[in-house]
């Protein structure tokens, strides 16, 4: 979507939805069928599990999963 930034060496898997004004750091993996809501910042070296819904910012070096992602 609009105004998103995806860092170097990051992967967004198939069917993942990245909504407006999202920032994804370097070396991240966004799992298949996950959703990242608008205005969320994801730090470096973060893994978002498949099917997760990320509603809040995620700090560096974290693994999040679930609905909402924790």
For residues 69 and 46, is the Cβ–Cβ distance under 8 A?
no
Confirm whether 51 is a catalytic residue: no
Q: What is the tally of helices (H) and strands (E) in the chain?
A: 0, 10
Distance CA 68, CA 62 (A): 15
Q: Which of 2, 6, 42, 61 is catalytic?
A: 2
Q: Which residues belong to the active site?
A: 2
């Amino acid at each position: 979507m609009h105004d998103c930034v995806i860092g170097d060496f990051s992967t967004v898997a198939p069917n993942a939805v990245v909504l407006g004004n999202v920032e994804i750091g370097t070396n991240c993996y966004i799992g298949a069928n996950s959703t990242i809501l608008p205005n969320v910042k994801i730090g470096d070296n973060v893994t978002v599990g498949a099917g997760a819904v990320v509603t809040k910012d995620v700090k560096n070096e974290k693994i999040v999963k679930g609905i909402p992602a924790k």
